[in-house]
Chains A and B, each alone.
Chain A
Amino acid sequence: MPALQLIADLPPHSATAWAVTFNPTRPLLASCSTDMTFRIFHYILPSPSPSPSPSSSSSFFPSPDAPKPTFQLLNTVKTEHKRTVRSIAWAPSGRTLATGSFDSTVGIWEETDGDEGDDEMDDGQGGGIYRPRNGAGGNGKEWECVTALEGHESECKSVAWSHDGGLLASCSRDKSVWVWEVQPDDDFECIAVMMEHGQDVKHLAWHPKEEILASASYDSHIHLQFDDPDGDWCIFQKLHPKFPPAPLTISLESSSSRPIPVTRNLIDNLAPNDEEREAEEKVVVPPLEEDETVWSLAWSPDGQMLASGGDLGGIRIWTRKGHNPDSLFEETLHTSAHSRSCFSLSWATGGLPEDQGGRGLLASGGGDGKIVIWQVYVSPQSGKAELQPIAAMRDAHGVSDVNCVAWCVREDGKGAGLLSSAGDDGSVKVWRVVADV
């Protein structure tokens, strides 16, 4: 019976925070903002405690009393971007950052100080602390823009590194998706430009294991592209949603089809309260008639499913029908989720074990101010992947929209279960799913 627990409320940006992301190899978190900065936070994990006995579903998650990681602001980096920094992404090495800006450029950032060994970035699991090498007052290292990638004609909205860091992709309001090859000495060569979206390209997500790139657009489509062995980079499938949203029903009654029991805490945070219900009745906002913008994408950890979040607030699951590079995807689920746009999705392992049907935890954040954690599981009845909300937080960033949610996924597995989020008010927060109090 899980709940979402606040771990850290970090020093806010001075304007909208758009994105936040955990470093894949080191205890660092990065966020970016309309204030044209990005921020680097360091965290220290508590010493590992013996895992709880698997007596109930609650035991998939730590107790709310378990020691919490501590977070600290290391750097506020004033970028050379002239407008909003909309997107930020760590290379898989954890050493390089890419930023995508409304000024149409992509920045590539590295630490100026060449460091040998990682001892100063100790996790704290051995009791070590972060000792800044240079810079007074714990400001840590300096970040330097080593390359600025130009080419987009208007706002760059998303940047993403491929699973092995060999490729970087960027997209823009100019409707294009660019693939850059990473070469030695901070050199990036554009090897493909795909121009088949009809409107802004809002978000990019690389497959976790293969060189397959998904792009989401204002034009309501998701394009799947790969490096065709017989030719150039090309789109091998254009996904367009068909399913109407299935209503989200939750009740306290136990159900055998639900892998994790529903709690009062979940209902309180997820269902509209009296005031919201009254407002909904009094002011009926007519839905947008055009097909919905796709705002967000997240691959399942095994790469066999893709989740997408749209303007109407729902979450869709697209399932791969094979294991070939160009195996096609099919829409298999569309559930109501947020009462306004679903701006962000993040998918990581966790929760129900795989041998019990679990397929990881999906986090979603939306314009309704909510963060929702979903258990993805294969239903024994239908044999299909289903989503069950297991924890939620209303007003996660006060009255602001939640623009981004991102799980901590590190190659060493440390920090698993930590979730970061970014809000319209500039705030950056960290959460974890805990067994309910």
Chain B
Amino acid sequence: MSRALDNENPTIFAPTHATSSRRQPKSARALLWDSEADMFQESDMEDGSESEEEREEIDSEEVFDLLRSITDPEHPVSLEQLRVVNPDDIRVAGNRVLVYLTPTIPHCSMSTLIGLSLRVRLLRALPPRFRVDIRIKPGTHQSEHAVNKQLNDKERVQAALENKHLLQVVEGCLATAGQRGVGDGNVGAAPITA
């Protein structure tokens, strides 16, 4: 991209949120929610999970886990490293998921694109019963309300996904999403679809 970056020097934080905090028995099934995987393929389960209740409970840590490794559209680092997504800014209850994203700078023109990437990731990875709301963390963006409205318009989201150029950028950001943290030796963190 030839255009000047919105934020040339973002602060990059070390990922502090250990992948091991994920509840292991559920990770196998959680990974199966990846769009590429067949979510109904019982035989792919690690153990005798047929007896498990059909409806999997999901908590904010698992949602964070789905989002943390998405790559920033401007920099080759993850949204977790930029602290654009934070475990404390995700709420889950019943069928509701609420994600606050924190742009690195208040005039970041990439916020809509990042929000779109989060939405697409959750659309593909969460069971369809979840209704997802995405908000800019209050006070962190000059056009907070306008961006919020756009990110939550399903028609605009669908149209964006049919825009080849935009979709390519989103897919680029999502290419790393399956890493779910870092390759820190935790076998469970490797995407099974790779």
Contacts and interface: CB of A to CB of B under 8 A. Distances in A.
A104 to B, nearest CB: 10
A157 interface: yes
Contact of B96 (A202, A283, A399): A283
B152 A288 contact: yes
A115 interface: no
A278 B93 contact: yes
B131 A290 contact: no
B155 A399 contact: no
Interface residues of A, number: 33
B5 interface: no
A343 B114 CA distance: 26
Interface string B142-184: 0011101100111110110010000000000000000000000
B128 A399 contact: yes
Contact of B98 (A16, A157, A285, A401): A285
Contacts of B95: 276, 279, 399
Interface in A278-297: 278-283, 285-286, 288-290, 293
B155 A202 contact: yes
Contacts of A279: 93-96
B133 interface: yes
Given A84-B162, A202-B155, A400-B128, A283 B91 contact: yes
Interface string B113-128: 0000000000000011
A173 B145 CA distance: 19
A278 B91 CA distance: 13
A34 B135 contact: no
B21 to A, nearest CB: 21
A309 to B, nearest CB: 14
A102 B162 contact: yes
B93 A16 contact: no
A293 B153 contact: yes
Q: How large is the interface on B (under 10, 10 to 19, 20 to 34, 35 or more residues)?
A: 20 to 34
Contacts of B158: 16, 34, 84, 102
B92 interface: yes
B129 interface: yes
Contacts of A293: 149, 153
Contacts of B146: 290
A155 interface: yes
Contacts of A276: 94-95
B55 to A, nearest CB: 11
A86 B154 CA distance: 12
Contacts of A86: 155
Contacts of B91: 282-283
Interface in A379-432: 399-401, 425
A275 interface: yes
A1 to B, nearest CB: 30
Interface string B89-110: 0011111111000000000000
A84 B158 CA distance: 8
Contacts of B156: 173, 200
A68 interface: no
A282 B155 contact: no
Contacts of A401: 154
Interface string B41-82: 000000000000000000000000000000000000000000
A279 B94 CA distance: 5
A218 B131 CA distance: 21
Nearest to B162: A83
A343 to B, nearest CB: 9
A340 interface: yes
A290 B138 CA distance: 14
A289 B145 contact: yes
A367 interface: yes
Nearest to B94: A279
A275 B158 CA distance: 29
A278 B94 contact: yes
Contacts of B144: 289
A289 B155 CA distance: 19
B93 A283 contact: yes
18 contacts: A83-B159, A84-B159, A86-B155, A102-B158, A102-B159, A155-B159, A218-B153, A280-B96, A282-B91, A283-B91, A283-B92, A283-B94, A283-B97, A286-B138, A288-B145, A288-B152, A293-B153, A401-B154
Top 10 closest pairs, chain A to chain B, by CB: A279-B94, A282-B93, A399-B129, A289-B145, A279-B93, A283-B91, A283-B96, A83-B162, A283-B93, A290-B149
Given A401-B154, A425-B128, 20 more contacts: A34-B158, A86-B155, A102-B158, A102-B159, A102-B162, A278-B93, A278-B94, A279-B95, A280-B96, A282-B93, A283-B91, A283-B94, A285-B96, A285-B133, A288-B152, A289-B148, A290-B149, A293-B149, A367-B131, A399-B129
